[in-house]
Amino acid sequence: MLTDKLCPICASPDLKIFFELPDVPVNGNLLWINENDAINCPKGDIRLAFCPRCSYIFNLAFEPERQTYEEYDNSLFYSPHFQSFTKALAQRLIDRYNLHEKDVAEIGLGGKSNFLLLLCELGNNRGISFDPYNLINNENNLLVDRIKYIKDFYSKKYSDYKSDFIFSWSVLEHLNDPKELLNTLRHAIGNHQDTAVFFGVPNALYNFNDLFFGAVIYEHLSYFTPASLSFIFKTCGFKVCELTEEYDGQSICIGVTPDKNNNLDNIYPSQSEVKKIEDNINSFSANYYDKLKYYRNKLKHILDRGKRVVIWGAGSRGVTLLNAFKDLNISYAVDINPKKQGMCIPGVGQKIIPPEFLQKYRPDVIIVMNPIYMNEIQNMVKNIGIEPNFLMV
């Protein structure tokens, strides 16, 4: 299917719509106090389009005015596995960019600035966080006097704030106009060639290839691949210094500096890269509903035998799966984030419970949505004293 709209990144008219998902919660990480409100939460449509010229993927049906990040909580920092990853990443960045007693800036969109705290603590740096929804983290009192919080999104009016290192994690994919932010950032940096910029986003190529159901959520306007992430930074006047896949390939990280020559020649992805991405998304589109049908039948067979089933993780992947399986009686969603416990899943209303509840409930099957957490979850469950089966979706 084709559309009459232009690619927001390269202005190509040759967009192809390859996947549609109607009536999904517009904010899967915004939880609800009671079941009825959760079931009747605001919903919207997803229509993913692909640009064969620059390889950018985005949701044509995205309505930015429907998004809010007040009380939004998609933090992974409660996971010991994620904590280990971020600490190692912070140390690597400190070593690579010589971040010792430097000025470090964060561009956030709802969070507690955990990664900024790590950079300041491990490198003895000074920090500033631009985040309109910042849940200010004063747990580490030693750093209070070294971090400044500005409860606003980064924009041109903050261009006078100069930093040695600017980073953002899982923000760019949410923005209605990601190119505007990068252009603003490039203008603010100006001729400060020593300023380094580092962004991390979900890896769409990994998610589409592995049929991660939670990879497609309404909050994400953009679905970046290494090729499209590199391209958008280049078009905004940056030179790519590093482009890596992190967290078992689930995230893409890009490190850039200002390109003083602003050379826009040969910045488009190669045809082989574009073809690989197009094959990937076509496979995702063709197999998505077959895979859903397979797991629905598998779970229905388990439930029809009177077995108790819970899902581990009340994040976007868990929310997506529960909304896809509304007709199945999956009792609860488990989450280690204490702020989520006691709340209800948008679109379906399942209660979110702490892991300790399983000792009493004793489920027969636990659905795990992300393989990277399987060992961590199995160890927690073992310590609780139960022995359920695990189903990886």
Bridge-based pairing of strands 351-353 and 332-334 is parallel
Q: Which two tokens stand for residue 189?
A: 């940096």
Average per-residue pLDDT in the chain? 91
pLDDT at position 110, please? 78
Segment 247-251 shows an average pLDDT of: 93
Long-range CB contacts (within 8 A, 24+) of 327-336: 327/296, 328/296, 328/299, 328/300, 328/303, 329/303, 330/299, 330/303, 330/367, 331/361, 331/363, 332/357, 332/361, 334/310, 334/358, 334/366, 336/78, 336/79, 336/380
Asked whether the CA dihedral 326, 331, 336, 341 is positive or negative, the reply is positive
| 278 in Cβ contact with 205 (< 8 Å) | no
Tokens of 170: 């899982």
**Contacting residues for 377 by C-beta, under 8 A, at least 6 apart:** 312, 366, 368, 390
How confident is the model at residue 108, as a pLDDT?
92
Residue 332: its pLDDT value, please?
A: 96
Task: Look up residue 115 and give its amino acid.
Answer: F
Query: Which tops the pLDDT comparison, 87 or 72?
Result: 87
The band of 142, judged by pLDDT with boundaries at 50, 70 and 90, is: low
Query: Distances in Å between the alpha carbon of 292 and those of 148, 284, 298, 323, 365?
Result: 46, 12, 10, 11, 18
User: Maximum Cα–Cα distance for the chain, whole Å?
Assistant: 67
- 139 pLDDT exceeds 70? no
pLDDT in tens, 77-122: 888 999 999 999 999 999 999 999 999 999 998 777 889 999 999 9
With cut-offs at 50, 70 and 90, classify the pLDDT of residue 56: very high
Q: What is the pLDDT of residue 136?
A: 62
- When pLDDT is averaged across residues 35-56 and rounded to a whole number, the result is 96
CA–CA separation, 20 and 389 (whole Å):
33
Token pair belonging to 328:
């199945």
pLDDT-above-90 percentage for the chain: 75
Average pLDDT over residues 122-131: 95
Q: What is the pLDDT of residue 141?
A: 54
State the pLDDT confidence band at 319, using cuts at 50, 70 and 90. very high
Q: What mean pLDDT is predicted for residues 71-76?
A: 74
pLDDT at residue 225, as a whole number: 95
Decide if pLDDT at 137 tops 60: no
- Percentage of residues of the chain with pLDDT beyond 70: 96
Query: Residue 215: which pLDDT band, with cuts at 50, 70 and 90?
Result: confident
Output the pTM of the full model: 0.93
pLDDT digits (tens, 9 = 90+) for 360-384: 999 999 999 899 999 999 999 999 9
CB atoms within 10 A of CB 385: 9
Q: How far is CA 337 from the centre of its chain?
A: 16
Note the pLDDT tens digit of each residue in 146-168: 899 999 999 889 988 889 999 99
For 234, phi then psi, to 5°, come to: -65, -40
pLDDT of residue 263 exceeding 80 = no
| Pairwise CA distance, residues 295 & 309, whole Å | 13
Sequence-ordered alpha helix ranges (H) in 98-177: 114-123
* Rounded mean pLDDT, 289-303: 93
Whether residue 306 has pLDDT greater than 60: yes
Whose CA is closest to 258, among 201, 308, 188? 188
Question: Which of 117-121, 122-126, 144-148, 271-275 comes out lowest in average pLDDT?
Answer: 144-148
- In order of their start, the domains of the chain are 80-263 (3.40.50.150), 306-392 (3.40.50.720)
Residue pointed to by tokens 């979110």: 352
Instruction: State whether residue 134 is helix, strand or coil.
Output: strand
Q: What is the DSSP string of 317-359?
A: HHHHHHHHTTTS---EEE-S-TTTTT-B-TTT-PEEE-GGGHH
SS3 state of residue 232:
helix
